[in-house]
Amino acid sequence: MAHSLTYIFFKMKLIQPSEDTIMDWKDVNAVNKLEYALVHGNYKTRQFAAEALEKVGQPSSIPILLKAMNDKIQKVSIAALNALEALGCTDDLVISITRKRFNWVKELRDKEEKTKVKKDKKHNIYRWKRASKASFDRVKEQLKKPIR
């Protein structure tokens, strides 16, 4: 009962459904509610709805998932891709699009890992390097040498 009221308030744009509500819609196979949440919800709601459609989705929800695949939020588009893959579309166009998007997601993750590695790498800037024992010893040795 509470989850049906949540859907009514959600359609009136007063509240966003919680994760528990979306999981309840998944349990009762309310595909139309999940599709509505995927189109009109905030980013968390869209992500949860796409993950729920992965489990209970029908072939009628493929166009909505294809639209959600191009979402600005990366987690939503990944969840939509996973849902499309789980639905097992046999259309060649959908298969090629999902492969292309999976490659895109893989490239984004690789790029993030590379930037993270570069960020963690320490660069030696010798001009601003503080005097250490090694540099002090080096100067001391140079002073011991005769001047020409």
Span 22-65, pLDDT tens digits? 889 888 988 888 999 999 989 899 999 999 998 897 888 888 98
Handedness of CA 15, 47, 51, 60 (dihedral sign): positive
Whose CA is closest to 65, among 77, 75, 73, 48? Answer: 77
Contact 12, 4 (CB under 8 A): no
Contact 82, 60 (CB under 8 A): no
pTM of the model: 0.66
pLDDT band at 5 (very low <50, low <70, confident <90, very high): confident
The confidence score (pLDDT) of residue 1 equals: 65
| Amino acid occupying residue 1 | M
